[in-house]
Amino acid sequence: MIEEALLQRVLTVATRYGADFAEVFVEDRRSTAAVLDDGRVEDLTSGRDRGAGIRVVVGDSTGFAHTADLSEAGLLATAQIAAEAARASGEGRVVGDFERAEVRRPNRVEQLPSEVAKARKVELLTIANDAARSRGGSITQVMARYSDSRRQILVANTDGRIASDDQVKSVFSVSAVASGDTGMQTGRESVGHTVGFELFSQVDVAELGRAAADRALTKLAARPAPSGQMPVVIGSGGGGVMFHEACGHGLEADLVAKGASVFANRIGEQVASPLVTLVDDGTMSGEWGCFGIDDEGNPAQRNVLIQDGILVDYMWDGNRARKEGRRSSGNGRRQGYQYLPMVRMTNTYLLAGTGDKESIIADTDHGVYIAHLGGGQVNTATGDFVFGMTEAYLIENGKITEPLREGNLIGNGPQVLRNIDAVADDFAMGPPGTCGKDGQGVPVGDGVPTLRCHGLTIGGTAA
């Protein structure tokens, strides 16, 4: 993307007033998106975003500047701005040769989406729309979305590292609205992977449309969710977002350092049930949060955070790791070249246990089974959270019975970890997600096996 000799000159300018560390991050992102709403193509767009961000670190101060001008003059001027912003006072240096890092990419792209005609992408939307509407006249609205992206990045820094990555993603989603005597209910299905257009030779978009419609129709006959504390069984794949939000953010080293995490200073302590092993893994082949290198040029890694209930490590970016005299865990991520990197999750999940889903449900006399959780809010300093239940059912006498209308799941992350008393062997990853933090969004994945927590609060409307 940029010649190494030019990168050396840019870093030399960036460190001209003295610096502990400097970095050039270059990004070239291309994307396509299409939306079909009520049978009509409402949006069909393509875009490209290309530029570089330059970071200069001096002690606890960071100078940062970015530019869309990748000419030598543009890059050198941006490096000068970053150097001045860092307010260093020391000797400059000439940056020498780089050592190119070997990058192990966690997947192979078979068909670049850019090589596929837009008409074919719109055809997928039409297939999903027709399949959803085929479920009956109660389906009154259908929206289908397709998008793909190709993100090529290059990172070079004063540690002598240079590395590049090529990240291709494809995603598809369907939302259906059903109308009936109880009002309107919505169902949604989505699939997304870090792969090319070959995704659609493996995924049946018609089935996604039918599943979204069926979920909406089921909710029309649902009863109000109960209220109060009770056992909750979370289905495989559908509840990973709870652990991402309620536990994962609290294990990011920057929040720990700020005292904004309930897990601060607890390495080596029992923080969860012995059934719980929590992992963050950027190497998971094809998953939504996978990559070859993070946005600081460090290789993706599989990091065990909680092992058999014991807190063993946090997630680290390069900047925080340097201050602690350790290596990055490959969790330095940024939304784009206009942003500084920070500690972020990749694919965060609970390992499977040895239990059996049917036995866990049969052993639950009364409670709630949650097939899918929606968005929510969490206070990382306390671990308190609220999540929406987008698909849930009553458990009565050890059997899943009536569907429930959307209610809330209320609890505390550390308490949930301690109260997990059963974990099945049916691990699955959930749908693709976007994690927001400090104004930046990055793609993430999450997953869980079926598990039971013996004490969670359901915020429903039933008397």
Find the radius of gyration of the CA atoms of the chain: 24
* pLDDT the model gives residue 98: 86
Domain count of the fold of the chain: 1
Higher pLDDT, 54 or 183: 54
CB 443 within 8 A of CB 371: no
Q: 220-250: per-residue pLDDT in tens?
A: 989 999 999 999 999 999 889 989 988 999 9
Q: What distance lies between CA 116 and its chain's CA centroid?
A: 26
Q: 158-202: per-residue pLDDT in tens?
A: 999 999 999 999 999 999 999 998 789 999 999 999 999 999 999
The torsion of the CA quartet 329, 383, 265, 313, rounded to 10 degrees, works out to -30
Q: 128-160: per-residue pLDDT in tens?
A: 999 999 999 999 999 999 999 999 999 999 999
Q: What distance lies between CA 185 and its chain's CA centroid?
A: 26
146 is a domain residue: no
DSSP H or E run through 360: helix 357-362
Given a cut of 60, whether residue 31 has pLDDT beyond it is yes
346 is a domain residue: yes
332 is a domain residue: yes
Given a cut of 90, whether residue 257 has pLDDT beyond it is yes
* DSSP state at residue 336: S
* pLDDT the model gives residue 88: 65
How far is 11 from 56, CA to CA, in rounded Å?
A: 9
How far is 223 from 72, CA to CA, in rounded Å?
A: 64
pTM over 0.75, yes/no: yes
51 is a domain residue: no
Q: Whole domain around residue 364: which residue ranges?
A: 228-459
Q: What is the average per-residue pLDDT within 259-275?
A: 96
Given a cut of 80, whether residue 92 has pLDDT beyond it is no
Confidence class for position 463, pLDDT limits 50, 70, 90: low
* pLDDT the model gives residue 89: 63
Name the pairing type of β-strands 384-396 and 399-404: antiparallel
**Adjacent-strand bridge partners of 389:** 373
Which tokens is 66 given? 């970015």
Q: Residues in the chain, how many?
A: 463
How far is 110 from 199, CA to CA, in rounded Å?
A: 9
How far is 309 from 272, CA to CA, in rounded Å?
A: 4
Cβ atoms within 10 A of the Cβ of 327, count?
12
* pLDDT the model gives residue 182: 78
How far is 230 from 243, CA to CA, in rounded Å?
A: 19
Q: What is the average per-residue pLDDT within 346-357?
A: 97
CB 156 within 8 A of CB 11: yes
208 is a domain residue: no
* pLDDT the model gives residue 460: 83
274 is a domain residue: yes
CB 53 within 8 A of CB 65: yes
344 is a domain residue: yes
* pLDDT the model gives residue 405: 86
DSSP H or E run through 133: helix 118-133
CB 401 within 8 A of CB 393: yes
CB 173 within 8 A of CB 40: no
Q: What is the average per-residue pLDDT within 371-375?
A: 89
Q: What is the mean pLDDT of the chain?
A: 95
5 is a domain residue: no
CB 288 within 8 A of CB 347: yes
Q: What distance lies between CA 228 and its chain's CA centroid?
A: 30
